[in-house]
């Protein structure tokens, strides 16, 4: 490690407040987790291997999950290897999909995640039309960049059969 020979070490992305909180935790075994600092704190704890702080932050985030933030939290959990947060955010995303797809962050999910969501057996939708409406909204957000993806999915039948037929019809209508 080249850092051991330096008088000063740069930790980009770590705020003074977060680093101070972790140093205080090292001395006191106490940390103050809030909605404002939880993500930064988890990231720093992950980077600096403060396992118990990372776990406490993960549990805090799980307690504050809802339909408004479950997509972003799912991605955050995957990136930081937070299995409990990933599992719970996925559960909310799939179980309350009809609310989740109406959130602004739904429009920014990648094609892989959308494909994963729509292909799940435990996707909870009252009617398949709700899932189709979600796909249409997602495609409409970036038609040029997404129409080929959705038509490709329909060809390989990523979705349940009736949804695939409806999406294939959409692809024939849109050149």
Query: What are 118-174's pLDDT values in tens digits?
Result: 888 899 988 877 888 888 899 889 888 887 777 676 555 545 555 555 565 555 555
Q: Which candidate, 137, 152, 145, 131, places its Cα nearest to that of 104?
A: 137
pLDDT, one tens digit per residue, over 8-45 is 777 777 899 999 999 999 999 999 999 999 999 999 99
Per-residue model confidence as pLDDT tens digits over 90-102: 999 999 999 999 9
pLDDT of residue 54: 98
Give pLDDT, residue 9.
72
What is the reported pLDDT for 175? 47
In order of their start, the domains of the chain are 13-64 (3.30.710.10)
Task: Give the long-range contacts of residues 167-172, CB within 8 A, separation 24 or more.
Answer: 167/132, 167/135, 170/136, 171/147
As a whole number of Å, the end-to-end CA separation of the chain is: 56
Chain segment 40-90, per-residue pLDDT in tens: 999 999 999 999 999 999 999 999 999 999 999 999 999 999 999 999 999
């Amino acid at each position: 490690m080249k850092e051991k020979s330096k008088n000063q070490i740069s930790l980009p992305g770590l705020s003074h407040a977060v680093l101070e909180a972790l140093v205080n935790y090292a001395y006191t075994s106490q940390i103050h987790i809030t909605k404002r600092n939880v993500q930064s704190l988890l990231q720093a704890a992950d980077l600096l291997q403060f396992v118990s702080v990372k776990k406490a932050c993960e549990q805090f985030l799980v307690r504050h999950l809802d339909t408004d933030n479950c997509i972003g939290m799912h991605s955050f959990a995957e990136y930081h290897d937070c299995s409990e947060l990933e599992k719970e955010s996925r559960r909310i995303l799939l179980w309350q999909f009809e609310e989740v797809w109406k959130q602004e962050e739904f429009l920014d999910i990648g094609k892989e995640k959308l494909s994963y969501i729509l292909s799940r057996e435990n996707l909870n939708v009252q009617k398949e039309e709700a899932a189709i409406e979600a796909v249409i909204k997602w495609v409409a957000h970036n038609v040029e960049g997404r129409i080929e993806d959705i038509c490709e999915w329909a060809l390989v039948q990523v979705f349940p059969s009736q949804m695939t037929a409806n999406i294939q019809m959409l692809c024939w209508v849109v050149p």
